[in-house]
Structure formats: structure tokens, C-alpha cells
Chain A
Amino acid sequence: MKTMKTPGRTSSLALLGALLLAPAAGAVPPHPDKLTFPKFTYAPPSAKEYRTVLKSGPVAYVAEDRELPLVSLTVTLRGGTYLDPAGKEGLAELAGYLLARGGTKSKTAEQLEERLAFLAAQINSSYGIDRGSVSMSLLAKDLDEGLAILREVLTDPRFQDDKLTLRKGQLLSDMKSRNDDTADIEARERGFLTFGEGYYLNRYTTKTSLDGITRDDLVAFHRRWVDPKNVVVAASGDFGKGVTRAQMIGKLDALFARWPYKGEAAPSVPKPAHALAPGLYLVDKDVNQGRVSVMLPALQRDDPDYDAALLMNDVLGGGGFTSRITNRVRSDEGLAYSAGSGLPGGVWFPGTFRASFQSKVRTCAFATQIVLEEMKRIREAEVTDEELRTAKSSFVDTLSRRFSSKAQTMGVFVDEEFTGRFARQPDYFAGYAARIEKVTKADVKRVAERLLATDRVAVLAVGKKDDLLNPDPKHPVKFPELTAGKVTDVPLRDPLTMKPMAPAAAK
């Protein structure tokens, strides 16, 4: 056990082996920086090549791809959980799930499921926080039957009562687990801190709201919001023997023609009015690893500083093992498995900067201190040329991977259309590399100064409270001294009402 083989010995052995085996001595350069590569410049696909406006209204992105006998279709719908009326929280989610799961005019839910399963066709529907989606993947030979089913799912969902009851039971069961996993608790309380109690993202489904949702509510939701006015479509794959792209576009047009109901255009996503209040927020839960988030308000995706912010965050904590927070919290100190930062550019409203990690409860304060040090450092001194180069490559040279299949490419373009960026910047991807390359070290420092006000951070920690406040004597960092604001105890919420529970009742 104590006889140590030094890597030095391994290496000389290996070298000897290399001498004996290498077919051409000297062919291998001593360092990867000495390698030379053939020139290659990537030209991303252009949305315009695939975009068409159907006669029946929706914009569609259509790409033929005959490698495999499969076809996939996605109908993206404007609308989302923000459409839930007060007291009916959960309506959009239920309606979305049951569109494809509750039967249609000509088929019961059971008949529909059996037929789709026999065809090995997959159909899914849902409404999320800012959009709905009905997607289908099937064998090329079944396309026409699939389209007929899809038309019925979109226009005449049956919303069978027994399937509504079943789904409510499943959702209730999920609700009961709301306090079981610290990851769920952390995500939820982060939402409350960021957007405030009243914002739609924090209007959770409760037992009462779920009980109050009826089949009539689902029908009304469908009639009002599932409408060609709210639709963007993607289709890719093998459209069948002899079927051209133009003919496929004709089929998609028919999918939305002669709509039987008069729906409404969905309103835009509401903007939050709440401001993140600095301070330390503690949730007491008896686990041996704490979860910590350090948060600050950030940017919208269209902000002129966004590209620089993206690179800044990549160096700070977004770039994994090439970023500073990961290097210090994880590699240097061994304090966490996952440690880093994210700076999502909000689509509809400014996003939130978040540095986060999970560490044994008594080293959470120490790791938080390191995170804050790194936030200060990137604000106070320019990043190195090497860091900026690495960050730029991680965006520019990986662009092709966002378009690695036709289905993925159509998905990207639908998102551009749906979020309005295509209308503003139709050549967003063509200019992408040049925009990233233009960012300077001074830009990075400037956006760090703009965004990373370490004296304004809100820190959320979930874990055993006594231990969070009782640091490992090796690193006696006092959590409350790290933030400017006060220390707030955040009680767990009753999972069925989402009302804060009295601290004594909380475990």
C-alpha cells in the first residue's frame, strides 16, 4: 500500500515503449500547441432557406432529410402558464398534457393511445411557462395517418373526464413531494426571491386550485388559445416516397386550414415588477450537503452588453473547468462537485445571474466567500488574453453543434421566430462569430462592473441551519457577514397550499 509508483517511472516506461513501437519517430509533436490543423470555417445554415408562411397563417420551417425513414413535427403555441386565471393555477399545464392524452372527437383516449403505440408513433403535448407544444415523431410511411390524428388533437381534443381525474391524481402526488428534495426547495425559493409572491411563475398549483379545474375549463382554454394565430411549425425528416418539400408544405397548410373555432392571439408574457432584495436567506432542512445560490439581477438577451456578459460569465463560472469559480471551489479546494455560474439572457424580461454550488453544510460559507472573491476579481481586473480566447472559442467554434441535425436546426429557427429575434435579426447566426470576436477585455471588465455588485447579492442557502452557521474551524467564515442585507429565515411551504408553514412545524 505504501510502495509508491511515481508517475515519473510510468512515464519513462511509456517513453521506452514509444521508442520501440512508434512507426515514425518524431512524428508526434511534443506539445498540442505545436500541432497544425487544416483550415476550416463553419457557415451556419440560414433560417430563410427553410422558412415559409402557410396560406392558413402559421410560419413553418421545413427541411427534408432522408437519412432515416422518420419524420418529426412540432407545433409551438404562444401562451403558457401565465394564462391561468387566478384560482385556476394548473389549468394550462393540465390542458396541455391532456390535448394529446385525453382522446379526440373520433377516438377515445384508449383507442388513440393503442393506435399510436402500434404505429410506434410518439405524440406529446404540454404548456410550459412561456409556450405550448404539440410534437409528433413517426415513421415516414405513417405520415398521412399521423397528420390526421394531429389535426384532431389540435382541433377536437376530447378531454375525457377519467383522464382528467387520473392526471389530477398524478399531479397531487407530485405536489406531496415538494419538500422532499432540497433541489426542489431551492429552485422554488429562488423563484420567490427573484420575482416575488405575486408573479405568475410563483403562482403554484395548489390542492384547492387543482380541485377547482373542470373539463369545461379545459375546453374553454383550448377554444380560446389553441389557434393558428398562435402557431409556429417545424417539420423535418423523410416526408414519404415521392413527396416533395412543396407537397409537405401543402400538407402542413391543410393542418391549420378551416379552423373550427375563433380563438385569440395570446398576450405577451407579463414582466415581473419585483426587485431582488440583498441579504442572506436560510431554509432549514436536515441534510448533510447544503445548496447555495448567489444571485443578482442581470440582462435581457437583446441588451447591447449581452455578448460581453456571456464571455465574462464564461470566464467567471460558466465555462466549467476553464472557469474561475469551478477551478477554485472544485479543483483547488475540493468543496463541491458542481460549482459555477449562469447568466441567462432573459427573452421576455431580464434574467438573473446565479452562481451556485452544493457543499457539505459546514463549508458552505467558505465556498460562498470564494465565489464572492471571484466576482470582485473579475470586476476589478481584466481577464487574461488566454482566458478570453478560450471563452470565445467555446462559443464560436462550437456553433455547428447547435445545428447537428435537421430536426435540431428547425428547432433553433422556430425558437428564433417565436421569440421575435428572427424579425429583428434574421442573420443572427451568420454574424454570430464576428460579434463574439469583437468583444475586448475592457468590454468584459465593463460588464462585470455593471452586473456584479457583490454588495447587493442575495444569497439563498438550503441545509441544516445550525451547521450552516457553524463553519468548519479550518475555514471559520461567518455566513451573515458575507452579505449586506439582513438574515432571513425562510420557512418551508405547505406542499398542498404553498403557504409558508410555522417554523416549528417545518422539519
Chain B
Amino acid sequence: MKIRRRTLVAAAVAALLLGGPAAAQEVKGEEHVLPNGMKLLLVYRPDEPSVAAGWVARVGSVNERVGMTGISHLFEHMMFKGTTTLGSKDPKRDLEIIAEQEKLRDEMRAEESKMRAALRRGEVDDITKPESRTPRYKELDAKFDLLVKEQRDLLVKNEFDRIYTKNGASGMNAGTTNDLTLYFITVPKNKLELWFWMESDRLRDPVFREFYAERDVVYEERRLGVESTPTGRLDEAFDSIFWHSTPYTWPVIGYASDVANITKAQADDYFATYYAPNNLTAVLVGDFDKAEALKLASEYFGRIPRGKVAPPEVITLPAKWQYDLRFEGEADTNPTAEIRWHTVPFQHKDSYALSVLAELLNGRTGRLYKSMVLPADAVATEARASHNGMGAPAKYAGSFNVAAEAKEGKTPADVARTALAEIERLKAEPVPAEELQKVKNNIAAGSFRRLTSNFFILLQLLFNEGSGEWKEMNEGPKKLDAVTAADVQRVARTYLVKDNQATAFVTRKAGSAPADDDAALAGVPEQIRPMIKQSLQRLAAETDAAKLKDGIAKMEAQAGQVPPDVKKGIELLVAKARERLAELETAGKK
């Protein structure tokens, strides 16, 4: 089942931010702040002889600008490239090579600028093609490769990973969202000092070596997650339109041409601003001695100086929108509809009622499933709703969304109509007490289920802290439990309204429909089969409805005058032409 989705990391956020209830067990965290402004949160949980450890930087794609979109995420990759101490056999020469590489890159950037100009004049059609490179660029590229080779011979390849791995650490990874960047790992309980050593070293003294190869890796990640997926580019476009006027309008992974052009100098500046200790919170969950952890924190993280400038505030506020925006696209996918509304950010007082509202709609006993999927004349195969989830972001602005896949024979417009009727019902009638209680019971149980693993507790704390503050993990559930039926009705009436709304319809791309032609052709006499098959393929790719209508009329006129054998073939063509016409009309329907 594929419903429109964002990048993995962003999608996971919703689940992590949706907390549990009042009766719920709280996370007993002990908070400390080092003199340099770095926050430290300790959660003791001795079940397993290990510690889940991580830290979050309060920076994400929302802090970027056009021209260098994707830098937060690329930067996350660079944090694994080592330090002066780790990663190179000859750190001095390594740094010299990096400086020489940058000089060459400056020259290559000048060539890239020429290539862009050539593109704008129409002299080349695609500057990502190897054939579009200028002769000078190729020359410089060859020189650059020599430096890369020299550097590679000095590398202690991925030493940062190797040291952790050979010490029994596991699950080292990191993630970037619109709002935050987080880093995490699990270490054996006797190796906590190693974690402090490694993390403080890369925060204090990172070396961004192999920068340009890693940039290519990120471009491949973009192809993997966006460009080569059936709906990746459409999702990105809809997000961009929905979040226009805010720094959420560009994707976390960055625009393709920006990712290819981020410079190491930009990365250096970015690090100095956003990775200062006063912009970070570290979290430990597991089996460790608190006094020992505090002592290590002060010894290791205490070495890092406070940042010289405070990270700049995000200023732009979402524009008042006052229209019902429509978005349509085609892709290799089953038809889907998504309706999205502008709402409120993380920790806003109305965000709790909106979360409860989403849960009333969700699940197999939720209102969407009952009205859209279960009835005999259902419009959808699957449907779901979320607040600050699949429509993301959360920290500076919010969204509520409903998304569903159309059932065979139904259109995205049918899906949207039914979903909106459910929303209207929520505005008109207060939710019955038992239904509201069901949602709260599930939130309560969820608040226990979220506490079954050190690693999962760590992630939730990092996400909450990066989006606002970790204490929300304990406070949020109480606020969710206090939501009333009147609150739900009020937020539905306030936010889920037409002039706050955007609707996306995605239909199957012409010609990519499952072609059950072989079975259908079985009834056609063998001698005309190849001809009919060819015509079927042309039909499937036809995008002009008028032409199809004309063709159908002509074929129907002929059908009475041809031999019975040929007639079967024409009937099949007419039927398929009608199907194609219906597809086109569905796609065109507002």
C-alpha cells in the first residue's frame, strides 16, 4: 500500500512526537547544563548492559536558504568523516591536500558556472551529463582525482566507525529533518567513556575530508529516495507549494542542483554557527552511573568553547493563504488524494486537540476507514490522517492531512469528497464520549508501549528536544488527555476550512496501467492479433481525449461493416479506448 510519503526521517517524527496520557508513566530524566551551554539529559534504565546515547543539534533544513538547500543533511554525513586524530595517517598533509583540493574546486566552480550559462543559452541540454563538461573542467577533474588518490593513500578509512565497532558499539547512525539533526549509537555499559571521547572529538575538531565524494553519495541518496521512486518528485512539488513562503518549502535532502554545488566553505561556516555546544543537547538512556557520566561530560564536552554568535532565529512566518489550492500530477502509481491544511506548530495549545482529531479519523475503527474503506460502495482501499506527521513539519508551522488511495473505479475526487464529508461531520456534531475515550485509551496504552526500549526512548527524547523541549514527552500526554469533545469540534471548525486547504490528486501515468492485454486478446482471431496489440499500445499512451472520442466514433461506425472475426478486435479496441478516455477525464476532473 503506497500513500504519498515524505522522506523517511520526516515521517518518523510524527510517531515520535505523539505522546501518551496522564495516567502514563513518565520518563524520569535528570537535566544538567554545562558552563558552555550544552545540555545533558540522563535517564537511568538498567535492563540491558548497554547505553543508548545520542545528541541533537537544533538545526535542520529550515535554517537553510535557496542555493545551499540540503546542507544540513550533507553536513550530517560529513560528521562521520573523522577528526584531526581519527581518519588519517598524516593529518598535516591531509589538511594541506584539502586546501589544495579547495583551490581546484574554485576553478571547477568557475567552469560549472560556464556550464550553467551554456545550459541557459540552450547549448547543452543537461549539465549533469558527462558529455556536457567543458574541456577545462575535465582537465581540472583529472587533477582533482590525483589529489583524491594521494589523500586516499593516507586515510585510515572510516576510522570513526571502526573504533566504535571494534569496541562493541552498534547502530551508529544519524538523521536530519526540517527542524533538527540527531546522532545516535548504542555502546556496551563499560564503554561509556569511549562515547564521550568520540563525540566530543568530532564536535571539537572535525575534519571534513572526502567532502566531494560524500556530496555525490548524497546525490545518490536523493536519486534513491526521491527521483527514482514513483511519486518522489510529485511529493516534493506538493510540499514545496504547500509550504511556500516558509523555509519549509525546500526538501530536507535539498534541490538537485544545490546538492551538487554546496561548497566546503559553506559547510565550515555552518558548523561554526549551528554545532556550537550551546545549540546541542546530549541524552543517555541505559545502564550507567550518573555521577560518572556527569564527570565525563564535564571533562570531555566541557572542552568545547561556546559559540561566538547565537544561531539566527527563523523569522519567516507562513503567509495567510485564503485559497483552496489544487495540485495534480501523474505518476506510476495507483490514484491517490491528499488534503492538507495549515494548522499550528509543535506545543501550540491547539496541537493536542488536532492530534486527538487525527486519531478519531485513523485506524480500522476510525471514521475514515468506516466511511471510505468499509462500505460496499467504498471509495478507497486505505485512508489515514495525521497532525504534524505525513504532511510534516512541526517546530515553526503545522499541518493536518488526510490521504487515501482510490479504489478501482473511483477517482481521487471521489476520495476527497468523502473525506471532506467526514471532516464536516466532525464540525457539525460533537464526538460521542465513548469514541473519544477509545482514542484516549489508545494514547494511554501507547505511552507504555513507547517505553519498552532504551533506543526508542532516546529517539523520542531527541526528537522532542529538537522540536521544542524533551519535557514535552511527559507534558504532552497530560494535555492530550485533557482534550474535550468541544475542543475537537472547535479546532475542526477553526483549521480544517477551505481557505486554509490544499488538495493533491495523483493519477496513474498514461500507459503505465497494468495491461491485461494478453488475456483480452485471447478472444481475437490470431491473424489480426499483432495489429490489434499494436493499436492497444498506442491507445494506452494517447493523451488527447478529443482524438480518442473521434476514434471511438469511427470504430463504432465501422463495426457493423466488417467480418465477424475483425469485429471482435474492434470491440476490444473500443472498450480499451473508453477505459483510457475515462482515465484521462478522471485526471482532468477538478
Contacts and interface: CB of A to CB of B under 8 A. Distances in A.
B463 interface: no
B72 interface: no
A28 interface: yes
Contacts of A331: 157-158, 210, 213-214, 217
B215 A334 contact: yes
Nearest to A408: B453
A403 B47 CA distance: 10
A276 interface: no
B334 interface: yes
A334 B216 contact: yes
Interface stretch (B199-207, B238-246, B483-491): B199-207
A330 B167 CA distance: 23
Contacts of A10: 205-206, 268, 271-272
Interface in B120-164: 130-131, 141, 152, 157-158, 161-163
Q: Which size class do A's interface residues fall under?
A: 35 or more
B220 A335 contact: yes
B228 to A, nearest CB: 4
Nearest to A21: B302
Contacts of A337: 217-218, 220-221, 224
Interface stretch (A29-37, A76-84, A373-381): A29-37
Quick one: which of A69, A137, A360 has the most chain B CB within 10 A? A360
A401 B99 contact: no
A504 B263 CA distance: 45
Interface stretch (B420-428, B496-504, B508-516): B508-516
Contact of A68 (B161, B170, B333, B448): B448
A86 interface: no
B193 interface: yes
Interface in A270-326: 287-289, 319-322
Contacts of A18: 204, 303-304
Given A14-B305, A120-B444, A405-B47, A37 B193 contact: yes
B116 interface: no
A394 B533 CA distance: 56
A405 B454 CA distance: 10
B299 A23 contact: yes
Interface stretch (B316-324, B373-381, B391-399, B568-576): B373-381
Contact of B49 (A24, A170, A400): A400
Nearest to A407: B452
Chain A CB count within 10 A is highest, among B165, B193, B405, for: B165
A260 interface: no
Contacts of A126: none
Interface string B175-215: 00000000000101111011001100000111110101111
A169 interface: yes
A118 B437 contact: yes
B535 interface: no
B512 A179 contact: yes
Contacts of A264: none
B519 interface: yes
A214 B99 CA distance: 71
Contacts of B35: 21
A463 to B, nearest CB: 9
Interface stretch (A148-156, A218-226, A340-348, A491-499): A491-499
Contact of B511 (A173, A332, A403, A507): A507
B84 interface: yes
B451 A177 contact: no
Given A70-B448, A497-B516, A393 B167 contact: yes
A67 B381 contact: no
Nearest to B266: A1
Contacts of A428: none
Interface in A462-507: 472-474, 494-497, 499, 501-502, 504-505, 507
Given A7-B84, A18-B204, A32-B163, A401 B408 contact: no
Nearest to B198: A32
Contact of A505 (B437, B451, B537): B537
Interface in B436-476: 437-438, 441-442, 444-446, 448-449, 451-455
A18 B538 CA distance: 71
Contacts of A121: 445
A496 B35 CA distance: 65
Interface stretch (A38-46, A48-56, A438-446, A447-455): A38-46
A492 B158 CA distance: 39
Contacts of A1: 263, 265-266
Contacts of B212: 334
Given A22-B302, A117-B363, A505-B515, A31 B213 contact: no
A69 B381 CA distance: 35
B227 interface: yes
Given A4-B265, A7-B205, A362 B227 contact: no
B552 interface: no
B308 to A, nearest CB: 10
A173 B86 CA distance: 51
A326 to B, nearest CB: 8
Contact of B194 (A6, A35, A138, A504): A35
Given A5-B265, A42-B49, A394-B170, A11 B191 contact: no
Interface string A429-442: 00000000000000
Contacts of B216: 333-335
A163 to B, nearest CB: 9
A215 interface: no
Given A7-B95, A30-B85, A396-B168, A497 B407 contact: no
Contact of A494 (B158, B364, B516): B516
B25 to A, nearest CB: 7
Nearest to B382: A170
A502 to B, nearest CB: 8
Contacts of A15: 205
Nearest to B302: A21
A6 B98 contact: yes
B193 A360 contact: no
A265 B85 CA distance: 61
B269 interface: yes
A289 B228 contact: yes
B518 A29 contact: no
Contacts of B407: 169, 173
A496 B582 CA distance: 20
Contact of B95 (A6, A139, A207, A398): A6
Interface string B286-315: 000000000000111011110000000000
8 contacts: A2-B106, A22-B303, A162-B376, A170-B381, A173-B408, A287-B227, A332-B213, A501-B518
Per CB-CB distance, the 9 closest pairs between chain A and chain B, nearest first, are A397-B168, A334-B216, A17-B305, A120-B445, A334-B213, A321-B161, A289-B223, A18-B303, A337-B221
